[in-house]
């Protein structure tokens, strides 16, 4: 074949992945069980409202997961409210809502156990209960006998099944327990299966098991039960192998994988479904989501990140902003000829896209492609000028790969464009120490007043405005808006959302060059602008002006 006829890497890796999966397991389809609303919410820094949980559940159903573990009814008022509101406020055409709980208490009776009662009353048709399968925990944590540990699981599952519920059993600490006393761990699983549990979910609760151990253990359990009951896995990422362990579990014969969106979860997190799902389907040929749902993965990952108020890691596999970003000129040059040359899967398959990041490492190919994205045409001299300007500015401390707004303005200026909405004559910032002595207490009350004045020209008009603010950047922003807002009403829709400062040459102390990044939004999109200077106010002013110019450019384009 000619070079043009050679099959691309995407097609080749897909066939190899499917083949290796076939050799490792007979599983061709798995159930995706999401526990973001319960286990994921245990991540430090996450606090979900009931509204948040309802919206996340809608996103999970839209993605197409099979089961949504919504919380622990009876454990807290928030989860109780969720289960009360869910029937009327949630439409879940794809997913099944699951209530989570635990087995009965030691020496307790199932018909008077509050946890089991709340599960029955939750309204969920499927429940998942957790029970001990490590003899160490039964003897030391529960302070009871192994026989009672088995009975707690058997009695609880039987009670819930008799109440008409589908029951999954989460075998807590199973991998640790099986390693030390396999006979007891299997006794517990047998009790759950005999009582009517339809899924035995093997949990790596401490997150320290390695992939080869997971595959061996899951295969042993699957062989032991001979297909009479489905086996699942629930894995944590404490050893950094959560995703690998999930893939190993499926190779061992698991038909259900429990995890969370973006890997949220206690300590270092749960296994990350946004990585597991495409790895299983695109690499191993195992069906996970319904057809045509995979392309929703990136959108759901970002939507959920917004709802939990935690920025998504830009380097997250498949769904991160940088997952298919190319910075080196050599890579970009190759991608122009063959898009699959430096991408392990097609970004569109997971709803992401290729990005070409411009920096001092970029070649002419990168800039040409970036210009095309913006609808610009850069000829030879203009292109050379942009390349040299980028290299010079990045040497001075600019960082355009994270400042998309400033980069676009730079490239437009190279074509002869100049912002003409207003022109700055000068600005001034005054910071007053306003501390005073409280004569009643004798204590000094600190205080700082910041005031900015700007002089600008709009057409033939000269405008002067003064404003106070919470620091020099806010004062300058307020003064500039006060001067311009009546002539440029689009400014009212532009807002600063983040402000970041980095010292570039720390050996110079307070005289060091600083880099300022400003994130802004017009309510629908966001952009970042940059300023660099020894004077932090000048650096901030550069970034602020670029932010406003870019916002006005968008408003008038």
Instruction: Give the model's pLDDT for residue 362.
Output: 52
pLDDT digits over 134-163, tens only? 999 999 999 999 999 999 999 999 999 999
Task: For residue 289, give Cα distances in angstroms to 16, 245, 281, 303.
Answer: 21, 19, 8, 18
Instruction: Name the phi and psi angles at 434, rounded to 5.
Output: -110, 25
Angle at 403 between CA 380 and CA 451, to 5 degrees: 125
Rounded to whole angstroms, the Cα distance separating 391 from 57 reads 47
pLDDT < 50 regions, the chain: 1-23, 360-361
The residues, ordered by sequence, that sit 6+ positions from 415 with a Cβ below 8 Å of its Cβ are 376, 377, 378, 382
Whether 540 and 532 have beta carbons less than 8 Å apart is answered as no
Record the tokens describing residue 163, joined without a space. 């109440």
Q: Where in the chain is the domain with CATH 3.30.160?
A: 422-487
- 75 φ, ψ (degrees, to nearest 5): -80, -30
pLDDT at res. 385: 82
188 closest CA partner among 296, 103, 74: 103
Q: Which residues pair with 259 in a beta bridge?
A: 34
| pLDDT at res. 403 | 82
Q: Which residues contact 530 (CB under 8 A, 6 or more apart)?
A: 398, 399, 400, 402, 403, 406, 515, 516, 517, 518, 542, 543, 546
Say how far apart CA 367 and CA 364 lie, in whole Å.
5
What is the C-alpha to C-alpha distance for residues 542 and 454, in angstroms, rounded to an integer? 14
pLDDT of residue 3: 36
User: What pLDDT is stored for residue 328 in this prediction?
Assistant: 55
β-bridge pairing 514-521 and 256-259:
unpaired
User: What per-residue confidence (pLDDT) applies to 15?
Assistant: 32
Residue 226, classified by CB atoms within 10 Å of its CB into exposed (0-12), middle (13-18) or buried (19+), is: exposed
Give the model's pLDDT for residue 279: 96
* Selection from 345, 259, 204 nearest residue 37 by Cα: 259
Phi, psi of 542 (to 5 degrees): -60, -50
pLDDT at 307: 85
Neighbouring C-alpha atoms within 13 Å toward the C-beta of 231: 28
- Could you tell me the fold of the domain covering 422-487? Double Stranded RNA Binding Domain (3.30.160)
238, 208 Cβ separation under 8 angstroms: yes
SS3 at position 300: helix
Long-range contacts of residues 503-506, Cβ cutoff 8 Å, at least 24 apart = 504/397, 504/532
Structure tokens at 1: 């074949």
Q: What is the pLDDT of residue 195?
A: 97
Q: Name the CATH superfamily housing domain 26-308.
A: Aldolase class I (3.20.20.70)
Instruction: Confirm whether pTM is higher than 0.75.
Output: no
Where along the chain do the CATH 3.20.20.70 domains lie?
A: 26-308
Q: In Å, how far from its chain's centre is CA 130?
A: 27
Please, are residues 224 and 186 in contact by the beta-carbon 8 Å criterion?
Answer: yes
**DSSP label of 506:** G
Sign of CA dihedral 11, 13, 16, 22: negative
Strands 126-132, 166-172: pairing is: parallel
């Amino acid at each position: 074949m000619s070079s043009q006829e050679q099959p691309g890497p995407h097609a080749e890796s897909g066939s190899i992945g499917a083949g290796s999966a076939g050799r490792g397991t007979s599983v061709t389809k798995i159930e995706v069980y999401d526990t973001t609303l319960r286990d994921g919410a245990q991540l430090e820094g996450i606090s979900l409202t009931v509204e948040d949980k309802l919206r996340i559940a809608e996103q999970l159903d839209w993605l197409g997961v099979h089961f949504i573990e919504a919380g622990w009814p009876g454990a807290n008022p928030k989860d109780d409210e969720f289960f009360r509101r869910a029937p009327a406020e949630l439409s879940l055409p794809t997913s099944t809502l699951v209530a989570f709980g635990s087995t009965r208490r030691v020496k307790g009776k199932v018909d008077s156990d509050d946890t089991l009662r709340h599960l029955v009353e939750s309204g969920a048709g499927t429940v998942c209960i957790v029970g001990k399968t490590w003899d160490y925990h039964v003897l030391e944590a529960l302070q009871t006998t192994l026989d009672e540990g088995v009975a707690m699981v058997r009695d609880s599952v039987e009670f819930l099944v008799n109440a008409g519920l589908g029951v999954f059993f989460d075998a807590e600490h199973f991998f640790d327990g099986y390693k030390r006393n396999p006979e007891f761990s299997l006794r517990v699983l047998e009790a759950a299966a005999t009582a009517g549990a339809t899924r035995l979910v093997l949990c790596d609760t401490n997150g320290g098991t390695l992939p080869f151990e997971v595959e061996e253990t899951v295969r042993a359990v699957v062989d032991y039960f001979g297909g009479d009951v489905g086996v699942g896995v629930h894995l944590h990422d404490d050893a950094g192998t959560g995703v690998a362990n999930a893939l190993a579990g499926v190779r061992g014969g698991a038909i259900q994988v429990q995890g969370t969106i973006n890997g949220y979860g206690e300590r270092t997190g749960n296994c990350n479904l946004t990585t597991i799902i495409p790895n299983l389907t695109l690499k191993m040929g195992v069906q996970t989501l319904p057809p045509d749902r995979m392309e929703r993965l990136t959108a759901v990952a970002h939507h959920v990140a917004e709802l939990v108020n935690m920025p998504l890691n830009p380097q997250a596999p498949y769904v991160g902003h940088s997952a298919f970003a190319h910075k080196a000129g050599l890579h970009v040059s190759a991608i122009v000829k063959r898009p699959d040359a430096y991408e392990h899967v097609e970004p569109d398959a997971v709803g992401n896209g290729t990005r070409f990041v411009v920096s001092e490492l970029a070649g002419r190919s990168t800039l040409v492609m970036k210009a095309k994205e913006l609808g610009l045409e850069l000829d030879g001299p203009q292109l050379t000028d942009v390349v040299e300007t980028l290299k010079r500015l990045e040497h001075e401390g600019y960082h355009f790969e994270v400042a998309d707004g400033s980069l676009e303005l730079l490239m437009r200026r190279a074509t002869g464009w100049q912002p003409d909405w207003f022109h700055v004559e000068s600005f001034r910032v005054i910071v007053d120490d306003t501390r005073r002595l409280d004569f009643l207490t004798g204590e000094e009350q600190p205080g700082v007043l910041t005031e900015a004045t700007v002089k600008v020209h709009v057409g033939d008009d000269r405008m002067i405005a003064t404003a106070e603010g919470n620091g020099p950047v806010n004062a300058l922003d307020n003064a500039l808006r006060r001067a311009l807002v009546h002539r440029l009403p689009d400014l009212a829709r532009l807002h600063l959302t983040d402000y970041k400062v980095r010292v570039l040459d720390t050996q110079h102390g307070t005289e060091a060059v600083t880099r300022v990044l400003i994130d802004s939004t017009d309510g629908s999109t966001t952009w970042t602008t940059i300023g660099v200077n020894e004077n932090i106010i000048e650096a901030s002013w550069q970034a602020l002006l670029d932010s406003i110019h870019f916002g006005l450019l968008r408003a008038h384009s």
